[in-house]
Amino acid sequence: MELLTEGLQTYLEQHCESEPELLRYISRETHLKVAKPQMLSGHYQGRVLSFLSKLISPKRILEIGTFTGYATICLAEGLTEDGFINTIDVNEELEDRVREYFRRSEFESKIRYQIGDAAVIIPALNEQYDIVFIDADKKNNGTYYDLVFDKVRKGGLIIVDNVLWYGKITSGATDSRSVHIRSFNEKVMNDHRVEKLILPVRDGLLIIRKL
């Protein structure tokens, strides 16, 4: 089930900032050549992520789940001059393609791309982050949330993608991913250390602000 009608999605894209040429290229290539292209953030959600990043002007960003690097570049648009983004993905098959996209980006020097298990890599990161974007395997949302929480500064954001899961979360679906996502959403809802807000953007963006 799509959250937004095709007409509304088109209207939203027409009334936000235009999609940068490199991102348009990444989107086109992903849809033509990569499995599960629906995992890509896309124009409107990409502009939302860019906007949030620019509002905060982060010095440090952590992204869990790089895929083809579209959201990575969107988030990098708001980095301070001396800032950088750590992005982690487990898919070795996409590495060469993604590194080439990053090389073509003006943010190449600010992107630190690692291949591996995020649950192993995150504890070894000795940084305090202004933004964390979680967009990886949904069953581990809670694990990643717990691992990054103490690494996020007070007032920083944790953003989690796909929290409405094609509308299944509110329709009573009982498949394993829906159950995991619904459980994670309740975990955050009951966490009094944060403010939280779900935006019905694409597949649902959960914006979490650390108090």
Cα 19–25–28 angle (5° rounding)? 100
pLDDT at position 146 is 98
Average pLDDT over residues 103-120: 98
The pairing of strands 60-64 and 129-134 is parallel
Asked if the model's pLDDT at residue 23 lies above 60, the reply is yes
Q: Please check whether residue 83 is in contact with residue 56, taking contact to mean a CB–CB distance below 8 angstroms.
A: no
Average pLDDT over residues 76-83: 98
Cα 110–116–122 angle (5° rounding)? 70
Q: Please check whether residue 159 is in contact with residue 134, taking contact to mean a CB–CB distance below 8 angstroms.
A: yes
pLDDT at position 4 is 83
pLDDT at position 141 is 97
Sequence spans of domains, the chain: 6-210
Separation of CA 197 from chain center: 15
Asked if the model's pLDDT at residue 134 lies above 90, the reply is yes
What is the per-residue pLDDT across 171-208, written as a single tens digit (0 to 9) for each? 889 999 999 999 999 999 999 999 999 999 989 999 99
Asked if the model's pLDDT at residue 124 lies above 80, the reply is yes
Report CA dihedral (30, 122, 48, 6) to the nearest 10 degrees: 40
Average pLDDT over residues 74-80: 98
pLDDT at position 2 is 66
Q: Is the pTM of this model over 0.85?
A: yes
State how far the Cα of 116 lies from the Cα of 130, in Å rounded to an integer.
22
Burial 13-44 (b: 16+ CB within 10 A, else e): eeeeeebbebbeebbebbeeebeebebbbbbb
What percentage of residues in the chain have a pLDDT greater than 90? Answer: 92
What is the per-residue pLDDT across 46-73, written as a single tens digit (0 to 9) for each? 999 999 999 999 999 999 999 999 999 9
Asked if the model's pLDDT at residue 166 lies above 90, the reply is no
pLDDT at position 22 is 98
Q: Which tokens is 171 given?
A: 């329709």
Q: Which CATH class is domain 6-210?
A: alpha beta
What is the per-residue pLDDT across 32-45, written as a single tens digit (0 to 9) for each? 999 999 999 999 99
